[in-house]
Structure 1
Amino acid sequence: MLLRSAPRRLHLLRPHHLRLLSAAALASAAPTPAPVPPQAPTEWAEAPLAAVRPATADASLYHVSLDLSAHGDLLASHAAAGQFLPFRLPAAPYPIFLAIASPPPSPGSSAAAFDFLVKRLPGTPSARLCDLRPGDLVQVGASVVGRGFEVARIADARDVLVFATGSGIRRGSMIGKPKELKLYLSSQDQTVNGQASENVFSRMKDILNPSSVGAILCGHKQMTEEITRILVADGLSKDRILTNF
């Protein structure tokens, strides 16, 4: 992550010969509306929660699983990583849009649930969701929304840079030929403002060729705009920088 001041926690992961992130690789955990909020759906479905449990020791993040065994059309509408599902919770003044953390169902798959990683923010609809129990019914959009990450645009990349804030990375599986994957992850309380104090991409120019690099940005809009500006200035084509909004 690129920050104005030196980050307190910056992880650079370099698994050898990893493959390109697949549709399950990226899902923002933000419980707020998508960065460019889509309109609330006109059709809603009702489904039970399959699991609701803390995902961290301090219970600031929750794992939520939605049982969609009775909603085949909704399951099938999930086609790309980074797509969102609208939730309408009791007494909430507005719907929330949660990015789906599980992969789109593959042909013949028996998967019948969507998984989410949710920040439990007191006083918000996300907290109400995290306070529910397995078996409770919730209203969700009748189909997923958002374009997701157009992974095919960087299918030829030899190196993939992934920038995420907070819990922006949920989990991943791999597709395609062997690739090098580098993950830049900032802690949850860090933000990107103004000009970055250091340029990781510039420091890596001796080992990275912009023509063979792809980038995936997973986080709030301000972060993605700042990282995009920096990567483009360093020679990476904007067409090779993926966002999900």
Structure 2
Amino acid sequence: MSLAIFQPASVTLHSHAHLSSPLHPMSILRRLNPHHLKLRRHRFANVAAAVRQDTALWTPAPLSEIEPAAESLFHVRVDLSDAPDLASSHTRAGQYLQLRVPDESKPSFLAIASPPSLASTKGVFEFLVKSVAGSTAELLCGLKRGAVVELSQVMGKGFDVDRIEPPENYPTVLIFATGSGISPIRSLIESGFSADKRSAVKLFYGARNLDRMAYQDRFKDWESSGVEIVPVLSQPHGGWTGQSGYVQAAFSRGKQIDNPPSTAAVLCGQKQMTEEVTSILVADGVSTENILKNF
């Protein structure tokens, strides 16, 4: 986050020692007008608040890998071997940080796609970055291995999986992700949340088509950990026989929530999807306390 520090004219201090004549009483009253004093305090507060927003501590780190992950999506790995404190601050799936690139002051907010264990054992963060024209993300995706970027401290509470433990109390977990929203979901699945000890864990993963769907090479491992994957394509190519349309519609068509109190959900992705899926779950009796989001 960048911030141009400025001093508005209304808070510039002036010396009045050069005044040779006394001020008129009404002038003094105008200067002491409570409304004027309140306005000045308000302007001072705005400047102070702006300064407080620029509290990120930036850590430089090199890119150790950057390669296509799917159409318009890139897999980015950052080497944190010289920043062990930053690496160890990633403690829960779903956390995120700010990243900025050289000569670009505006940062990009990115969810950490790798599990916390990867940071603690190998000293790296991995991200799934969507390249959007004119954005910091586009500049990032155009960098080469070895380029140095800057990372803020890790932020957010992540997914509070403690709320859906122990697994025998929440045997059904429904996971929903769209587009690059699969990033923190990957972190969750690979962190482990006792999926193999639950009777039904299902991931509804939406993308425009298979060319836009990242992490397909990880599906087999995810399924072996106890997660059933349901790809949902909104604009599938010819020959697609799986679920089509939007994630919320696909879920609504085939949903079977037999025991709402023992059902939990995890959501990340497009706002309309998360809102509509939440409404469907709550209408069917799933507690909002058991619906996890990372923001």
Q: How many residues align?
A: 196
Higher share in strand: 1
- Which residue of structure 2 lines up, in the alignment, with residue 13 of structure 1? none
Instruction: Check whether the contact 2:60–2:150 (CA below 8 A) recurs between aligned residues.
Output: yes
1:210 equivalent in alignment to 2:260: yes
Say which of 127, 134, 137 aligns to 2:148. Answer: 137
Is the helix fraction higher in 1 or 2?
2
Corresponding position of 2:74:
62
Percent identity over paired residues? 45
Query: Please, which runs of 5 or more residues in structure 2 have no aligned partner?
Result: 1-52, 210-233, 235-247
C-alpha separation between the residues in 2 aligned to 1:197 and 1:75? 39
Contact in 1 for aligned 2:264/2:291 (Cα 8 Å):
yes
Q: Which amino acid aligns with 1:82?
A: G
- Scaled by the length of structure 1, the TM-score of the pair is 0.72
Which of residues 29, 37, 58 in structure 2 aligns to 1:44? 58
Aligned partner (choices 137, 148, 160) of residue 150 of structure 1: 160
3-state SS of 1:239 partner: helix
Closer, same or farther: CA 188–44 of 1 in aligned 2, 3 Å: farther
Q: Write the distance in 1 (CA, Å) between the matches of 2:111 and 2:174.
A: 20
Higher relative contact order (CA 8 A, sep 6+): 1
Aligned to 2:43: none
Report what 1:163 is aligned to: 176
Question: 1:232 is paired with a residue of what secondary structure?
Answer: helix
How far 1:199 sits from its partner (Å)?
Answer: 5.8
Is 1:231 aligned with 2:281? yes
| Equivalent position amino acid for 1:127 in 2 | E
2:252 counterpart of 1:200: yes
3-state SS of the aligned residue for 2:137?
Answer: helix
User: Which residue number corresponds to residue 90 of structure 2?
Assistant: 78
8 Å CA contact retained: 2:118, 2:125? no
Distance between the aligned counterparts of 1:129 and 1:72, measured in 2?
A: 23
Q: CA RMSD in A?
A: 2.4
| 1:221 to 2:271 alignment | yes
**1:186 shift after superposition:** 1.6
The answer to whether the 8 A contact 2:181-2:270 is kept is no
- Distance in 2 (CA, whole Å) between partners of 1:93 and 1:130 is 16
> Match of 2:177, as an amino acid?
A
| Paired amino acid for 1:214 | A
CA distance in 1, matches of 2:251, 2:292: 19
Compute the TM-score of the two structures, normalised by the length of structure 2: 0.61
Please state whether the residue corresponding to 1:115 is helix, strand or coil: strand
Aligned to 2:203: 183
Structure with the greater alpha carbon radius of gyration:
2
